[in-house]
């Protein structure tokens, strides 16, 4: 994350003054740091809509870190966008699929019983990344709720967009 973004720490001195310096790693932070300022710009030449989507996904990345709910226009795409941001911002030494699915479980997004939105979002995510067990679970729930799928916003969006 720090390779792509600008971060600085501001240390409060005993005399009340403060000093700032660029932060290159989170591992060496001491407990006396009073503030970490982080600037995460949208990609260069991004349209206004793309910049909004970038910042919304950044917000969801921090929601993932802090265990808070996600926000977005379409849940399945929100899952995919968050996973891609996790891949971008996190080290290669973690299993982002397992971590995302664990987060989704804690948030209740994996409780697919009688919840067409969650089931369709999980199906979209599983199809995108070829996650067999997740796909089977989501598909089974979708089949069981076939009468109510067509009223879900997830269904309407997924039908309009090719996977």
Domain ranges of the chain: 6-39, 48-160
Do 60 and 82 form a contact (C-beta atoms < 8 A)?
yes
Residues 88-147 pLDDT 10s: 998 788 999 999 999 999 999 999 999 999 999 999 999 999 999 999 999 999 999 999
Distance of alpha carbon 54 from alpha carbon 43, whole angstroms: 8
Is the pLDDT at 26 greater than 60, yes or no?
no
pLDDT top residue among 37 and 144? 144
- Residue whose C-alpha is closest to residue 101's, from 75, 71, 64: 64
Residue 28: is its pLDDT beyond 90?
no
For the segment 23-43, the average pLDDT, to the nearest whole number, is 67
């Amino acid at each position: 994350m720090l390779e792509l973004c600008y971060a600085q720490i501001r240390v409060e001195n005993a005399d009340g003054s403060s000093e700032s310096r660029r932060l290159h790693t989170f591992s060496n932070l001491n407990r006396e740091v009073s503030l970490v300022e982080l600037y995460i710009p949208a990609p260069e030449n991004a349209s206004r809509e793309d910049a909004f989507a970038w910042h919304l996904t950044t917000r969801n990345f921090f929601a993932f870190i802090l265990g808070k709910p996600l926000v977005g226009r379409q849940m399945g795409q929100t899952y995919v966008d968050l996973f891609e941001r996790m891949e971008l911002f996190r080290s290669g030494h973690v299993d982002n699929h397992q971590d995302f699915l664990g987060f989704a479980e804690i948030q209740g997004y994996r409780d697919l019983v009688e919840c067409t939105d969650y089931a369709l979002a999980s199906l979209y995510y599983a199809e995108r990344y070829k996650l067999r067990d997740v796909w089977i679970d989501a598909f089974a729930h979708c089949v069981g709720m076939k009468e109510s799928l067509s009223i879900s916003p997830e269904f309407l969006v997924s039908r309009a967009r090719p996977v």
